[in-house]
């Protein structure tokens, strides 16, 4: 009789890209943003319900966030966040051994911080849309002219969702980010299972062949074990 091995349950069963936002101080840590004001205007591509743009605006710094969820109302985004929170908390419990807890302290603290980001984002959302701070758009097509930004960031989208977004998507997205910004930074470079992205070497090679300058840069942040470098790419 043929035996079948059980397929292990994924620790993070999210069903695709989900809204799970972060605060400005987290962006500063995992993107190495020491002098954010000197880097603006900044694009936060796939910003979701992060409060990065809202907190930057309060400090007089221009950040534009893009995400397809911005077509929805604040109430709808909150509801989707609540669904995401259940799956994320379950995943963090299952995979607690794969994280370093120095920065956050606990899964409960991560959850509180995500809610803080959500509330700050929602408080700014309607005003921010009118001010052009939140733009409904999705990679790899952005509604901005060439060189519209000094810096473009991709937080917890590219490479993290490498099982859902294929190599062609990643390459097209990176090309688009380099079209609209002189420099691109991406973090993290591992997937949801904590493995180094299989897309990364090919993306770096392709971009270098096209004249860009990709490099891996250490950052003062590590939550997923081993995820302590960002991809930094400048146009040639």
The CA–CA distances, whole Å, from 119 to 82, 83, 190 equal 12, 16, 28
pLDDT tens, residue by residue, 2-26: 333 333 345 545 455 667 789 999 9
pLDDT tens, residue by residue, 116-152: 999 999 999 999 999 999 999 999 999 999 999 999 9
Domain formed by 24-234, architecture: 3-Layer(aba) Sandwich (3.40)
Residue 164 has pLDDT above 80, yes or no: yes
Confirm if 180 and 142 have CB atoms less than 8 A apart: yes
pLDDT for position 90: 81
Annotated domain spans of the chain? 24-234
pLDDT for position 19: 74
pTM of the model: 0.90
Residue 174 has pLDDT above 90, yes or no: yes
Please, is 236 exposed, middle or buried when counting C-beta atoms within 10 Å of its C-beta (0-12, 13-18, 19+)? exposed
Distance CA 120, CA 214 (A): 33
pLDDT for position 1: 36
Confirm if 210 and 167 have CB atoms less than 8 A apart: no
């Amino acid at each position: 009789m043929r035996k079948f091995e059980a397929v292990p349950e994924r620790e993070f069963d999210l069903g695709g890209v989900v809204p799970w936002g972060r605060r400005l101080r987290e962006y500063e840590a995992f993107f190495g943003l020491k002098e954010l004001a000197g880097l603006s205007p900044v694009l936060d591509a796939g910003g979701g319900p992060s409060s990065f743009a809202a907190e930057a605006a309060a400090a007089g710094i221009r950040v534009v966030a893009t995400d397809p969820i911005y077509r929805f109302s604040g109430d709808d985004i909150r509801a989707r966040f609540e669904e995401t929170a259940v799956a994320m908390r379950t995943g963090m419990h299952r995979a607690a051994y794969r994280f370093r807890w120095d920065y956050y302290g606990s899964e409960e603290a991560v959850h509180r911080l995500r809610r803080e980001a959500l509330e700050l984002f929602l408080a700014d959302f309607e005003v921010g849309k009118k001010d052009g701070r939140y733009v409904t758009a999705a990679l790899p097509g952005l509604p901005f002219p060439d060189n519209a930004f000094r810096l473009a960031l991709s937080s917890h989208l590219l490479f993290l969702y490498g099982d859902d977004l294929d190599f062609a998507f990643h390459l097209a997205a990176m090309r688009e980010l380099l079209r609209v910004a002189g420099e691109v930074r991406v973090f993290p470079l591992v997937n949801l299972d904590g493995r180094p992205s299989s897309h990364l070497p090919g993306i770096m090679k392709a971009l270098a062949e096209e004249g860009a300058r990709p490099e891996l840069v250490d950052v003062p942040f590590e939550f997923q074990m081993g995820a302590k470098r960002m991809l930094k790419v400048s146009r040639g």
